[in-house]
Structure 1
Amino acid sequence: MSKNTKDTTVDIDYADQAVPKEGRKGFLTMFMIMLGFTFFSASMWVGQQMAAGLDFWGFIKSLLLGGAILGVYTGLLGYVGAKTGLSMDLLAKRAFGEKGSYLSSAMISFTQIGWFGVGVAMFAIPVSGELLGGSKAAMWALVLVAGGCMTASAYFGIDSLTVVSYIAVPLVAILGTVAMVMAVRQGNGTIVDQFAVSSGSVTVIGGAGMVVGSFVSGGTATPNFARFAKDAKSGTIATVVAFFIGNSLMFFFGAIAYIFVGGNDIFEVMIRLNLFYMAILVLGLNIWTTNDNALYSAGLGLANIFRQKKKPMVLISGIIGTLLSVWLYYNFCNWLNVLNCTLPPVGIILVLSYFINKKEYDSDKVEIKTVNWFAVIGVIAGAVVANLVSWGIASINGMAVAAVCYVAGQVLCKNREEAAENA
């Protein structure tokens, strides 16, 4: 009896299969999950850099252009994820091959564990400084508590992520916006006047590149969540709208923090406005939503590589990210930004693989290669170009190179197959 019960236990995260109809969720739930994913405190740093180098209208133009590019990229991934019900790692198996998928899984796991750790430190360091005098013991106590809570919620999967998102998203959006409006009202002149003192060192294209680069690595994991949408249309719309709104809000928070208090986080604005406990609440919830999704994606990636269950991989990822959080915060952010450029080539290949081989994705019986070398070479070449070529937008350059490599490989393989059939 107990054996049968164990065998029929449902994996609510469907780590190794497509999400069935009974596991799908409505538009509002998907919108909340995706919006919470984009509430990323590090994006406020980008808002600060944009405010320092652009006037107000340049800031808006960069926001719109970068948001449109990021929206198209994540929207396509959201569509593929929702249409197939497959996670990023299961999609990678079809595009890169069984062992080839280890490359993309390792990349997403590595970057997401890194950003998880940075997020934990982004909460613990300022809060311990303001609340507990900045002692090392207090900081590490907060690191362990915050990392433990975030790991626990990610451990319990998509249902836990949903609960956290429903609580955090409205609170962060409302309270953060209220603080932003209060700061603007207390400043000298209008927001347009304050932006006018920027150095003018950033172009609109450069600003758009910052917008895209700020969350394009996390956006590559979109299928991990969009696969739970009830259909492709709602999954795509929820993804595009959430990414545009969520990222724009974070950039504005960072810009306002820089202009009115010289910082880069809405936390600092709230502290200056004497909204201390509200500041802690907003900072904690803001980081929690993104960190949960990051750890969830890392767990899926490691589960694919090591062929283990997702939950223990999430736990391991959380422990690593928590213990290394302070070191990651002070030493690894620049490296993580470099790694951000390596993931867009993965995403574009996942999208191209689906649209080029649509019939195979609609079939339950699919032949999985060991390694698709053209996909692997495309990612490597795209990552090199994205990091070394200074012209244009790095992630777009990387995607273009990866797409050419992959499509050329697909055409070559098809021609070989046709030649073999005709021989």
Structure 2
Amino acid sequence: MDIKNQDYPLSEVPLSGRKTVLSLSWILMGFTLFTATMFAGGQVGVAFPFWPDLIVIIFVGNVLLGGYAALLANLAFHTGLNTQLLARFSFGHFGGAIVDLILGLTQIGWYAWGIAILAVYSLQMIGVTPDSALYSSYLHCIIVFFGIAFCITAYIGYRGLEVLSIVSVPLILFFIGVSLYNSYEASQNGALSVPEPITGVLSFGLAVTIIFGTFSSGATQSTNWTRFAPSPRAAIWSSLLAFLICNGLMTVVGAVGALVYGESDVVAVLLLQKLFWFGCLMLLMSLWTTQDNTIYNFSLAACHLFRTNNRRLMTLVGAMIGIVLALFRIDQHLLGFLLLLGTFIPPIGGVIIGDYFFVRKKRYPQMDQARFSKVNISGIAAYFIACFIAYFSPGIAPVNGIVAAIIGYSLFGRIFKRRVMGENNVPRS
């Protein structure tokens, strides 16, 4: 099997397989221009005054997210490894299966959420209401159709994701600009009554957790693309552009829409602004550029879990699972899903960061020369302790979890260093 065409699911990306910074930036921007981020912005937007409270929350949440993604990007460039292979070092040969399951299932959750949302909006746009006798049948048909369609570019691989993003990202940014301009005009002309925020509903820490949590899983798995970076600067800056700037833009759009129109989704806002075809294209492009990335992430997690290089087969399997979840309407349970992501996903990245920077001192062996313990107790223990701290401690849950995971793994890793490092590992300088 040609592992180059499968995007190196179980090995390092060689220097000959690296991409340009522009190519990488297109993919990461397409990934983060996601509809769910606008919903998160809307949830936070109605709970705080726009200036300065809301802007500070959005800024803090996205700076933390961008910094986290950039740190992992630097690591991914130097190792050429995806998140699952990195986790094998810090969680062990079989312990890494926990990471595969957690990250794979969350990505499938987002995939299911996206195709369900697209189906609901599509029927709304053509005037089919939930009380219609054929509503469920139409809904199921659309879910199945787009569940299959959205995995096509992921099936192709990196090149498929890149081509779609090159076409879609400029269109999405244009639609967002038009919507924001119209929202500003409407609020200035007094055409709409802007409601007062419902203060006291969310704390500062919980609001930042929602902003961070929306893409914490994506940021943790961003190494799946930044391992293709041609330089450390390319990896870091492309990550900041996507996770700080683009993700921040989407949260602002969601917040503005919620404040001005009572709608957090720019697609719904475009429809209210009588821009029907803009709304249709925005919905399709913003979901497709993220959906193919999420199912791509799942395929890598599944390849690692089952130790197979057949990433394309895993892509198809993931799409089928996502379709089934969408048919059960996972989209109706979004907010709780976001909060759980914001709490339990970031500690995985914290453990990986602690292992690479503080225990192994940036020296990983080559994958074909490394030997792993079956279960790295240090990684498992640090992860669960960090999750406990993130869930129960006050403040910003994702940050608490990441810091706790880094400190916990660094301490455990030094105590049990011989077991963590494995036997007969040949260090990479």
Which position in structure 1 is the counterpart of 2:27?
A: 33
Which position in structure 2 is the counterpart of 1:96?
A: 91
Q: Distance in 1 between matches of 2:194 and 2:171?
A: 27
Matches within 5 A, 1:254-265: 254-265=254-265
Kindly provide the CA deviation profile for residues 198-234 of structure 1, in whole angstroms up to 9, marking residues without a partner as x. 1232454443332212211211101101001111211
Judge conservation of contact 1:217–1:341 (CA < 8 Å) in 2.
Answer: no
Which position in structure 1 is the counterpart of 2:199?
A: 200
Matches within 5 A, 1:169-188: 169-188=169-188
Which position in structure 1 is the counterpart of 2:343?
A: 341
- In structure 1, stretches of 5+ residues that fail to align are 1-6, 418-423
Q: Distance in 2 between matches of 1:413 and 1:203?
A: 39
Judge conservation of contact 1:184–1:190 (CA < 8 Å) in 2.
Answer: no
Kindly provide the CA deviation profile for residues 130-170 of structure 1, in whole angstroms up to 9, marking residues without a partner as x. 21513222222221221111112211111111111111111
Which position in structure 2 is the counterpart of 1:239?
A: 239
Return 353-362 or 31-40, whichever deviates more. 353-362
Return 128-137 or 147-156, whichever deviates more. 128-137
Q: Which amino acid aligns with 1:337?
A: L
Determine whether 1:228 maps to 2:232: no
C-alpha displacement of 1:189: 5.9
Q: Distance in 2 between matches of 1:117 and 1:177?
A: 28
* Percentage of identical aligned residues: 28
Return 245-254 or 220-229, whichever deviates more. 245-254
Judge conservation of contact 2:34–2:287 (CA < 8 Å) in 1.
Answer: yes
Kindly provide the CA deviation profile for residues 51-84 of structure 1, in whole angstroms up to 9, marking residues without a partner as x. 1111121111112211111111111111111121
Which position in structure 2 is the counterpart of 1:378?
A: 382
Which position in structure 2 is the counterpart of 1:350?
A: 352
Q: Distance in 2 between matches of 1:190 and 1:211?
A: 30
Return 112-121 or 320-329, whichever deviates more. 320-329
Task: Tell me: CA distance 1:121–1:333, structure 2 relative to 1, closer, same or farther (3 Å).
Answer: farther
Q: Which amino acid aligns with 1:324?
A: L
Q: Distance in 2 between matches of 1:105 and 1:312?
A: 16
Which position in structure 2 is the counterpart of 1:275?
A: 275
Q: Which has the higher helix share?
A: 1
Q: Which amino acid aligns with 2:295?
A: L
Q: Which amino acid aligns with 1:256?
A: V
Q: Distance in 2 between matches of 1:9 and 1:264?
A: 42
Q: Distance in 1 between matches of 2:37 and 2:334?
A: 16
Which position in structure 2 is the counterpart of 1:147?
A: 147
Report SS of the residue matched to 1:368. Answer: coil
Query: In the alignment, which of 45, 65, 73 is matched to residue 39 of structure 2?
Result: 45
Task: Tell me: CA distance 1:264–1:8, structure 2 relative to 1, closer, same or farther (3 Å).
Answer: closer
Q: Distance in 2 between matches of 1:293 and 1:272?
A: 29
Task: Tell me: CA distance 1:339–1:359, structure 2 relative to 1, closer, same or farther (3 Å).
Answer: closer
Task: Tell me: CA distance 1:132–1:145, structure 2 relative to 1, closer, same or farther (3 Å).
Answer: farther
Q: Which amino acid aligns with 1:115?
A: W
Judge conservation of contact 2:212–2:342 (CA < 8 Å) in 1.
Answer: no
Report SS of the residue matched to 2:151. Answer: helix
Q: Distance in 2 between matches of 1:150 and 1:266?
A: 21
Report SS of the residue matched to 1:19. Answer: coil
Task: Tell me: CA distance 1:271–1:281, structure 2 relative to 1, closer, same or farther (3 Å).
Answer: same
Query: In the alignment, which of 17, 20, 25 is matched to residue 14 of structure 2?
Result: 20
C-alpha displacement of 1:386: 2.1
Report SS of the residue matched to 1:11. Answer: coil
How many pairs align? 408
Judge conservation of contact 1:61–1:204 (CA < 8 Å) in 2.
Answer: no
Determine whether 1:127 maps to 2:127: no
Which position in structure 2 is the counterpart of 1:286?
A: 286
C-alpha displacement of 1:387: 2.5
Task: Tell me: CA distance 1:247–1:190, structure 2 relative to 1, closer, same or farther (3 Å).
Answer: farther
State the Cα RMSD in Å: 2.2
Q: Distance in 1 between matches of 2:99 and 2:414?
A: 22
Which position in structure 2 is the counterpart of 1:413?
A: 416
C-alpha displacement of 1:366: 2.4
Query: In the alignment, which of 330, 333, 342 is matched to residue 332 of structure 2?
Result: 330
Return 344-353 or 380-389, whichever deviates more. 380-389
Which position in structure 2 is the counterpart of 1:107?
A: 102
Which position in structure 2 is the counterpart of 1:420?
A: none
C-alpha displacement of 1:188: 4.7
Q: Which amino acid aligns with 1:250?
A: M
C-alpha displacement of 1:277: 1.4
C-alpha displacement of 1:271: 0.5
Q: Distance in 2 between matches of 1:229 and 1:29?
A: 9
Query: In the alignment, which of 369, 373, 376 is matched to residue 369 of structure 1?
Result: 373
Query: In the alignment, which of 71, 80, 83 is matched to residue 78 of structure 2?
Result: 83
Return 331-340 or 315-324, whichever deviates more. 331-340
Judge conservation of contact 1:229–1:235 (CA < 8 Å) in 2.
Answer: yes
Q: Distance in 2 between matches of 1:136 and 1:40?
A: 25
Report SS of the residue matched to 1:361. Answer: coil
Q: Which amino acid aligns with 1:25?
A: K
Q: Distance in 2 between matches of 1:9 and 1:224?
A: 15
Q: Which amino acid aligns with 1:102?
A: A
Task: Tell me: CA distance 1:45–1:14, structure 2 relative to 1, closer, same or farther (3 Å).
Answer: same
Which position in structure 2 is the counterpart of 1:316?
A: 317
Report SS of the residue matched to 1:255. Answer: helix
Determine whether 1:400 maps to 2:399: no
Kindly provide the CA deviation profile for residues 85-111 of structure 1, in whole angstroms up to 9, marking residues without a partner as x. 101111111111111111111100000
Q: Distance in 2 between matches of 1:229 and 1:48?
A: 33
Judge conservation of contact 2:210–2:342 (CA < 8 Å) in 1.
Answer: no
Judge conservation of contact 2:354–2:406 (CA < 8 Å) in 1.
Answer: yes
Report SS of the residue matched to 1:187. Answer: helix
Report SS of the residue matched to 2:371. Answer: coil
Which position in structure 2 is the counterpart of 1:3?
A: none
Which position in structure 2 is the counterpart of 1:4?
A: none
The TM-score with structure 1 as length reference comes to 0.91
Q: Distance in 2 between matches of 1:138 and 1:31?
A: 36
Judge conservation of contact 1:295–1:314 (CA < 8 Å) in 2.
Answer: yes
Kindly provide the CA deviation profile for residues 170-206 of structure 1, in whole angstroms up to 9, marking residues without a partner as x. 1111112211211220125699x948x2123245444
